[in-house]
Structure 1
């Protein structure tokens, strides 16, 4: 069944829609101000960055949630990362119990951000929110502090419009999503009762464009790891031994080149694709959105969106080697690289990692020794599109945006969604977002389209109102 063939759910009452629309519109300046406050906090969750900033970000999020005045409990918590002995980054959790038989909805986002990278690559300071035209620039302005604010502002609008919504609401704002959600499972285990819900809304994805909403129904998984290639017991003079002794850089380059075919498709036996239909997406749009340089051609085979949503991909995201400035005439004994393999839906991340590892071990040139470390696995996820909550979300998007939503896959990974579904198997998962094709999440000059933020807040407010009883819902499974 396609989107346009889906049964139409009853419309939200017109007067309620108008009340919500007015509340969201009037509250937008406050929402942008709250977002700007969060963006100014450099809450990078990676090792090597000051964790006090992540704590400050969590405290600010907790303040915003408490000020809503609707929760029975609001807390900031850190738990031990399994197997490490260390604590994860602080998360914000809150809950209010449902009344009158209403369902409970869990609203997820994350308040941590990616490192900013080099300041000179930014056109505006990365942690100083800057409005230019209809966009707000800054690290985390979209990914995912805008998701946090979408939840807060939607609840504000809901309460202003209907008073006590009787709806059960759970808030889960994570503090280390950008660093692998290492304590996520432990948080779920500790707070299982607090987090239990009928519907889970994950505001951490994107939209088809700034005028067309998307509901994400498929996500690739990820198998990331470090690989060290070693050929020599110590560095040697390249003039004395070059041409006879294989250096690690040569071995690494040769080895990495085996991961792809001549057209850039992944060439690893055991990595599978997912069979699915995808919308048309011309090469010209890929060229524009991915910023391909003149003369650079796309890679891979098949429709563009099938390559991005349903096929595996392998990227070398980092390499430890002397810089050009510090290079000497030396044969390197070892080279380390970071590899990120995106896993198509339908295959586990563990199986994919085993396939990539087996390939690398089988193709190591010159007898090079390989060492694998820092393995980070996250499974792909497919949303059950037959769930009644999916129809509620699509109807809410249509009413808020005035446009038909598109159900999409996403090439990126949100591994914790599989963990959420495992912990709450009866819950319906909805993956929404406030990003758009020009957001540049994780990159310099990340930005948020303020019109998209407006419509995302209204979508969630409408969805919450519908779940709170604005329309009759089907029987819960």
Structure 2
């Protein structure tokens, strides 16, 4: 395809159509089901789906079928089915993915900004869900329109926009099973829920960490006791829990000790990470708002990238049993509860990891304390991309030259996208293009979330070229 036509189509669509409609989507407080137990009655998820559906119905997507799919008891999904162009009817299905549900608003937005009020400043579109991941359906449709405008080709497109990603995509497997007969043979997966270190080049995500979540309670006393009378005789439940955690994590270094949670980094991924360290040596070290004088766990860029992409970590994300300081009396509490969140290497087995963690927490417990692990445990595998096909390598080089003017980079991501692991298992022969407009400073999940509009347009251009290249492969 001729680059000038692609760019003109994308830019025009984004300025005249996408940005106004995306702004309207931001205004809908479509919290993910995990954050809105009454989502079915509040109707915000349904409103978000209808908003995007109405937009897509007005676009030039020849032969497209656009429908809301809603299985009983599950949050809705928007399914867009666009037939292949005449020259690409034998290229299988391109499965494109995004989500419309959002994280909670969170307080502390800057003056003049609000999670549900779209604001454009200096080329940034602010608002919850702007970059995570409201823009994705718009970018996907704009890319398909650009292919048509430039006389290109594309295989059959199946766009899935779910409404439960921020809750761990609990309903997505059921929808994939429900739609499996209609999806056909998926040969390319395009996920637009990622990004990279800067806005200067295309970033590909080639691995995602898995995760294990569990809540553990340690109890030694049947009832709380006066700390002056019982301390030194009865161990603190907090200290016992600290001892158990030390079996799993080196408190000084953060290293996870259990072999089931550690893997060897593949040589190809290590080479990618080394290349990222060269072009963005300060990206992770400066990405997060540390207190004055605060430091990251290492000054070395490569170590930080390996830690974030391929090494297991433990974060304590919740607790119970500790009173607020103003209410704390001289009491030896009967129990301590902590919620543990582990991030796993992309190729680690999450179920094996969970079993190893539970063994470490429940075997030979000090002082005979009672350990209870709550039933709501999570164990999700990560994802490691398949080897890149020659056509995709060639197409990416063209995108590098014509769209961004510099080489793309591929890297892992410390977070999880459950959809990718699921699709990796379901479509092992497919190629995967996991990219997006999110930058290291896009503030997803926190105050002042924003979308870089110019970069989002470039990503859209890149996707259009890659769809055409896939159709001609």
SS at structure 1 position matched to 2:371: strand
Tell me, yes or no, if the aligned pair for 1:64 and 1:152 is still in contact at 8 Å. Answer: no
Equivalence for 1:58: 49
Q: 3-state DSSP class of the match of 2:437?
A: strand
SS of the residue 2:44 aligns to: helix
Structure 1 range deviating more: 361-370 or 105-114:
361-370
Instruction: Name the structure 1 match of 2:470.
Output: 467
2:188 aligned partner: 199
Contact 1:116 1:444 in 2 (8 A): yes
Q: Aligned equivalents of 2:264 and 2:101: distance in 1?
A: 31
Q: Greater CA deviation, 369-378 or 242-251?
A: 242-251
Deviates more, 1:88-97 or 1:229-238: 229-238
Contiguous gaps of at least 5 residues in structure 2: none
- 1:350 counterpart residue number: 351
CA gap 1:283/1:297 in 2 versus in 1, 3 angstroms: farther
C-alpha distance in structure 2 between counterparts of 1:387 and 1:93, whole Å? 27
Cα distance in 2 between the residues matched to 1:144 and 1:25: 19
Which residues of 2 match residues 2-401 of structure 1 at below 5 A? 13=1, 16-29=2-15, 30-49=17-36, 50-51=38-39, 52-68=43-59, 69-79=61-71, 87-98=73-84, 99-102=86-89, 103=91, 104-117=93-106, 119-120=107-108, 123=111, 124-162=113-151, 165=153, 167-196=155-184, 197-261=186-250, 262-275=252-265, 276=267, 277=270, 278-279=273-274, 280=277, 284-299=282-297, 303-320=303-320, 321-362=322-363, 364-372=365-373, 373-388=375-390, 390-391=392-393, 394-395=396-397, 397-398=399-400, 399-401=402-404
TM superposition score normalised by structure 2: 0.87
Shift of 1:213: 1.5
Superposition TM-score, scaled by structure 1 size: 0.86
User: Is 2:388–2:431's contact at 8 Å kept on the other side of the alignment?
Assistant: no
Give the aligned length.
448
| 3-state SS, counterpart of residue 436 of structure 2 | strand
The structure-2 alpha-carbon separation of the partners of 1:214 and 1:326, relative to structure 1 and needing over 3 Å to count, comes to same
Extract structure 1 runs of 4+ deviating beyond 4 A.
281-284
Q: Report the Cα offset of residue 195 of structure 1.
A: 2.5
Contact 2:131 2:438 in 1 (8 A): yes
Cα distance, 1:411 vs structure 2 = 1.4
State the distance in 1 between where 2:3 and 2:109 align.
42
The whole-number CA distance in structure 1 between the counterparts of 2:327 and 2:55 is: 48
Give the alignment partner of residue 445 of structure 1, picking from 432, 435, 448. 448
User: Contact (CA 8 Å) 1:208, 1:436: kept in 2 or not?
Assistant: yes
What CA distance in whole angstroms lies between the structure 1 residues aligned with 2:294 and 2:314? 19
Does 223-232 or 402-411 show the bigger shift? Answer: 223-232
Match of 1:454 in 2: 457
Q: Deviations over 1:66-85 (max 9, x none)?
A: 223435422212335xxxxx
- RMSD of aligned alpha carbons: 2.5
Tell me the SS of whatever aligns to 2:75.
Answer: coil
8 Å CA contact 2:392–2:470 kept in 1: the answer is: no
Write the deviation string for residues 172-213 of structure 1: whole angstroms up to 9, x where unpaired: 111101101111111111100222322110111112311121
1:364: how far off? 4.3
Q: Mean alpha-carbon deviation: is it higher for 267-276 or for 139-148?
A: 267-276
Distance 2:295 2:372 in 1: 33
Q: For the residues of structure 2 that align with 1:414 and 1:449, how far apart are their CA atoms?
A: 21
Q: Structure 1, unaligned stretches of length 5 or more? A: 1-12, 81-86
CA shift at 1:419, angstroms?
1.2
Distance (Å, rounded) in 2 between the aligned partners of 1:205 and 1:397: 18
Q: For the residues of structure 1 that align with 2:449 and 2:468, how far apart are their CA atoms?
A: 31
Find the aligned partners of 1:299 and 1:409 in 2 and give their Cα distance.
19
Residue 372 of structure 2 aligns to a residue whose secondary structure is strand
Larger mean CA deviation between 235-244 and 196-205 belongs to 235-244
Q: Could you tell me which residue of structure 1 aligns to residue 422 of structure 2?
A: 419
